[in-house]
A and B are shown apart, each in its own frame.
Chain A
Amino acid sequence: QKEVEQDPGPLSVPEGAIVSLNCTYSNSAFQYFMWYRQYSRKGPELLMYTYSSGNKEDGRFTAQVDKSSKYISLFIRDSQPSDSATYLCAMIGNSGGSNYKLTFGKGTLLTVNP
């Protein structure tokens, strides 16, 4: 079993739709959860950073973490064509051997159609 599972998609939605992206994980040492956006042939750009369980909102983006279920989500409201990219979830621990490296999902390719 991979440490982080993410449905690679592709996911295609009409402009204005609400998008839900998800990851599950198996390592209970993960404490910090991130979402990165990666445009084609570019480096990952940090979108959201969440510590432990709970919700965090930033503009049209909401990140949710449920540590009891080992499940994280990213919601995009009023999606725009400029949101078309690959979305990567990433996780990191806070102690010992897991606090210095990010573990990524495979990424979900999202296309928002005008």
Chain B
Amino acid sequence: DAGVTQSPTHLIKTRGQHVTLRCSPISGHKSVSWYQQVLGQGPQFIFQYYEKEERGRGNFPDRFSARQFPNYSSELNVNALLLGDSALYLCASSLSRGTGNSGNTIYFGEGSWLTVV
């Protein structure tokens, strides 16, 4: 089975531009979360989507938005890019929204490397 797939793998954008990152979860997984990982830091939670609805949001500005599609894939959008948005953006998938048993573990994709110049 395919794992979590993300695209694009690398991209370079200019300050003020907009970016869209895409994620396909593991087959059968209904929950998709997005994390930002700045160099030298652990991933920081941005959003969780479950059954196409936003279920949780981290401490990120409104320039960050996301959505989940009927096939459970997801997009992360970032507007008005700043230099500080340069990071690895990780998508994670799990069976359901929260943890309830060891079966609901969270798996990450390889990420999308965003560089803002």
A42 touches B105 (CB 8 A): no
Known: A49-B102, A49-B105, A94-B99. A106 touches B40 (CB 8 A): yes
Chain A CB within 10 Å, residue with most, of B33, B90, B106, B108: B106
Contact of B99 (CB < 8 Å), options: A8, A31, A45: A31
Please give me the residue from chain B that is nearest to A51 by CB atom. Answer: B102
Residue of B nearest to A90 (CB): B42
Give the CA-CA distance A107 to B88 in the complex, in Å.
Answer: 15
Cβ-defined contact, B109 with A43, below 8 A: yes
Of the candidates B41, B90, B100, which one forms a contact with A44 in the assembled complex, judged by CB atoms under 8 Å apart? Answer: B90
Q: Could you mark each residue 100-117 of chain B with 1 if its beta carbon is under 8 Å from any beta carbon of chain A, else 0?
A: 101001111111010000
The minimal Cβ–Cβ distance linking A71 to chain B, given in whole angstroms, is: 17
Q: Which residues of A contact B31 (CB under 8 A)?
A: 100
A74 CB-CB contact with B under 8 Å: no
Query: Among residues 9 to 45 in chain B, which have CB atoms less than 8 Å away from a CB atom of chain A?
Result: 31, 33, 35, 40-45
B56: interface (CB < 8 Å): yes
Q: CA–CA, A88 to B106, complex, Å?
A: 14
* Cα-based distance from A95 to B100 in the complex (angstroms): 9
Q: A44 with B43: in contact, given A49-B105, A101-B33 (CB under 8 Å)?
A: yes
Interface string of A21-38 (1 = CB under 8 A from B): 000000000011010100
Which residues of chain B are near A46, meaning CB under 8 Å? 105-108
Across the A-B interface, the 9 shortest Cβ-Cβ residue pairs? A104-B42, A99-B98, A101-B45, A43-B110, A43-B108, A44-B108, A100-B56, A43-B111, A100-B48
By a beta-carbon cutoff of 8 Å, the part of chain A in contact with chain B is 4, 6, 8, 31-32, 34, 36, 41-46, 49, 51, 88, 90, 92-95, 97, 99-107
